[in-house]
Amino acid sequence: MRRVHVTVRGRVQGVGYRWSTRLVAEREQVTGWVRNCDDGTVEAELQGEPERLDAVLAWMAEGPPGSVVESRDVADLEPVESSGFDVR
């Protein structure tokens, strides 16, 4: 099990990025949350099996149509008990 904190920069608000992230995470059975930040970034915490988590992270580097991902920072965290995926 792996858990990460992700910050995505670029044109990632107002383009369906959070909701699309939720769909991809649920498809990959990854738990956690995603939210918009006041500085225009999108922040997320994700947890799942490494291969499935890598699939979500790869998608987040591209984003949905209409988004422009300029950078993505990923930091490892200690795994915790979690279930479901929330858009905050």
Residues labelled as active-site residues: 18, 36
Asked whether 62 and 26 are in contact (CB, 8 A), the reply is: no
Nearest to 58 by CA among 14, 11, 4, 16: 4
Angstrom distance (rounded) from CA 32 to CA 46: 5
Angstrom distance (rounded) from CA 34 to CA 7: 10
29: left (phi over 0), alpha (psi -120 to 50) or beta: left
